[in-house]
Chains A and B, each alone.
Chain A
């Protein structure tokens, strides 16, 4: 008999336990939801608490902010997805810099250039799918244009986040977007740059992944940016 059959056989031979109810939807329907400005402020406070840089930007000017941040950090090689609309806008803004960084697209499988990716790329720019207010998280579904390693390997990750996609909590995100109908190869929640507390419980950032996470949080025009920082 195979290990599979033996294990399943043993489990099936065990007494059946009484059926148990676990209504996750009902539980989350009963929890208080963060909305509007409060949600956005809460999200930003939690992200900043884990050393994420949150920059409030408008749809019209985020490429400019990105370019400034790239320049400030002295990024020499940046990975982005020029085939996407946001990637193309970013590339154009970066080209305007006095000393523009080398802009690379992830246009071939990782296998041929792993070492280059690890050793020479300083930063990557990607768009995230959504955010979660309650826990201060970003949701990423890496794909063909923006593969998994873009938000992982380069020391700096610039993330473009449309704040209109902010969900109150993880359950709302998952159910509203109906994730159960089809998951991507890899879905991801990101809350801050990589960190560890493995040495005497002291937090240190940049353990393996990005040392810096910079979020360009695109705010709709009807929200006053000053309000976002008030009492923050």
Chain B
């Protein structure tokens, strides 16, 4: 694996990536098929519109209630976890989070880490960080394992290898796993993956996982999964390190029930996942298994910036179900890698600017038709289109303008030519004399209209002024009726 393939490229390359993805008909076809499948499965889980509406309302209020008290809940979570014997660490940046995790592993002399699925550890590029320091980190979720073998990154937050065909995976396994024949049989491929990973659990010094919900009331870390690899990573090695964003805390144990239901049904259209794992402490006196040490790393990485503004705070309500991407017409056509960020699709478009700054993500909020599908399916009712509009506004705000909650990269989208065009436009439209002259000149000189008009004429006929202005037409009509 080389460094280049593992490091995310800044999404200022988004337009070029999107063009390349659009030209790849295989990719478009496989994403289209997969998204149609997931949309159908989700719809089948919510046959009762009233139930869905009520459940979404409840989910939204639980997330908003938790965020309203976020600092208190984080402290409560920490106190409760400490009481349960779990150590809590805080990290402002991805670098800090990685250093904490590496420090814990190094203190044990650890050499091998098995990882459950964790998007936050993708944010921090933990595998790469550990690898560079002599610790091998193996992804154990089948999809993550596949993309790791390919030296790639996940293209979907729930189905990391959704961009890969069965033949791609057959080839990968036969090339990378010793003594493995080429087979496209899915059951056989899964058994090959199972065998390859099984011994890792036995020998690993540490298990790393993400967290779906952290419950302040009881100090419980919840993990949602189908495969059992998450349970393996959090049970078999002697040390378990969980990493999560600071927004994942919820207040009460009971709050998890509707959120879990919304998550599984929205994500993969399952009534529940195979496992819902609730971890509250390390191995207790007399217990025969489970890690002797459990650590939780709480990561900020731009989340407190989103939090500091009441409108943008809603971004943090996300429970990472991926439904918004499954339903997004843009994501469906370009796939996850084109975004260049850990979180692709609509959720990525609203969270990545906080993590990477608008200077690196300026095109993302514009990559939307604002059709509203993302906001409509979001189980916790995040008004994603509104957020996109707000981020577009921030990206063209004067970088020097003083605002209550400046965003990193404010004004990154300011374009001198566009700015000049708007200034001229507003000058013309705010003075009646100038407006009349402009209308007269535009209609009379319509023959000079260029045939190529930037991106517009890629898919549309050129815009051309009418032969007469509306005012002229109205004047003529009045004259005719007066006659």
Contacts and interface: CB of A to CB of B under 8 A. Distances in A.
Interface of A: 2-4, 6-8, 10-22, 24-25, 27-28, 31, 46, 50, 106-111, 114-115, 118, 134-137, 143-144, 147-149, 152-153, 169-171, 174-175, 179-180, 182-202, 204, 206-210
Given A18-B68, A199-B166, A3 B90 contact: yes
Given A20-B64, A180-B217, A118 B228 contact: no
A137 B51 CA distance: 21
B9 interface: no
Interface stretch (B193-201, B342-350, B442-450, B457-465): B193-201
A136 to B, nearest CB: 7
A36 B308 CA distance: 50
B292 to A, nearest CB: 9
A230 B107 CA distance: 60
B360 interface: no
Given A11-B71, A13-B308, A183-B220, 19 more contacts: A15-B310, A17-B64, A17-B68, A22-B61, A22-B255, A110-B288, A152-B228, A171-B254, A180-B252, A182-B218, A183-B219, A183-B278, A186-B277, A190-B275, A195-B274, A199-B146, A199-B169, A207-B227, A208-B228
A104 to B, nearest CB: 12
B276 A188 contact: yes
B279 A185 contact: yes
A17 B317 CA distance: 13
A118 B231 contact: no
Interface stretch (B124-132, B183-191, B417-425, B470-478): B183-191
Interface in B215-266: 217-220, 226-229, 231-232, 235-236, 238, 246, 252-255, 257-258, 260-261
B227 A185 contact: no
A115 B231 CA distance: 17
Interface in B50-93: 51, 54-55, 58, 61-62, 64-65, 67-68, 70-71, 74-75, 90-92
A204 B55 CA distance: 30
A68 B58 CA distance: 47
Nearest to A203: B186
A152 B232 contact: yes
A199 B190 CA distance: 8
Q: Which of B274, B282, B286 has the most CB of A within 10 A?
A: B274
30 contacts: A3-B300, A6-B92, A10-B304, A12-B71, A14-B304, A17-B64, A17-B67, A19-B68, A22-B61, A27-B54, A109-B289, A110-B236, A118-B199, A134-B271, A149-B235, A152-B231, A170-B260, A174-B253, A185-B282, A186-B280, A191-B272, A193-B274, A194-B228, A197-B159, A198-B161, A199-B169, A200-B166, A204-B186, A208-B228, A208-B231
User: What 10 A-B pairs come out closest when comparing CB atoms?
Assistant: A209-B228, A198-B143, A194-B228, A22-B61, A189-B276, A4-B90, A110-B289, A10-B304, A207-B227, A198-B142
A100 to B, nearest CB: 24
Contacts of B260: 170
A115 B202 contact: yes
A144 B286 CA distance: 6
Contact of A198 (B146, B257, B280): B146
Nearest to A144: B286
A185 B37 contact: no
B226 A194 contact: yes
Contact of A3 (B64, B91, B226, B286): B91
Q: Which of B91, B189, B219, B288 has the most CB of A within 10 A?
A: B288
A134 B238 CA distance: 35
B376 interface: no
Contacts of A184: 280
A213 to B, nearest CB: 9
B359 interface: no
A131 to B, nearest CB: 12
A99 B141 CA distance: 37
A16 B274 contact: no
Nearest to B288: A147
A192 B71 CA distance: 38
B160 A198 contact: yes
Given A186-B280, A191-B273, A204-B190, A109 B254 contact: no
Interface in B278-296: 278-284, 286-290
B190 A17 contact: no
B75 A186 contact: no
A148 B254 contact: no
A174 B130 CA distance: 39
B327 interface: no
A135 B272 contact: yes
B68 A152 contact: no
A21 B63 CA distance: 10
A184 B283 CA distance: 10
Contacts of A110: 236, 288-289
B42 interface: no
Contacts of A50: 274
A11 B70 contact: yes
B268 interface: yes
Contacts of A200: 164-166, 186
A46 B271 contact: yes
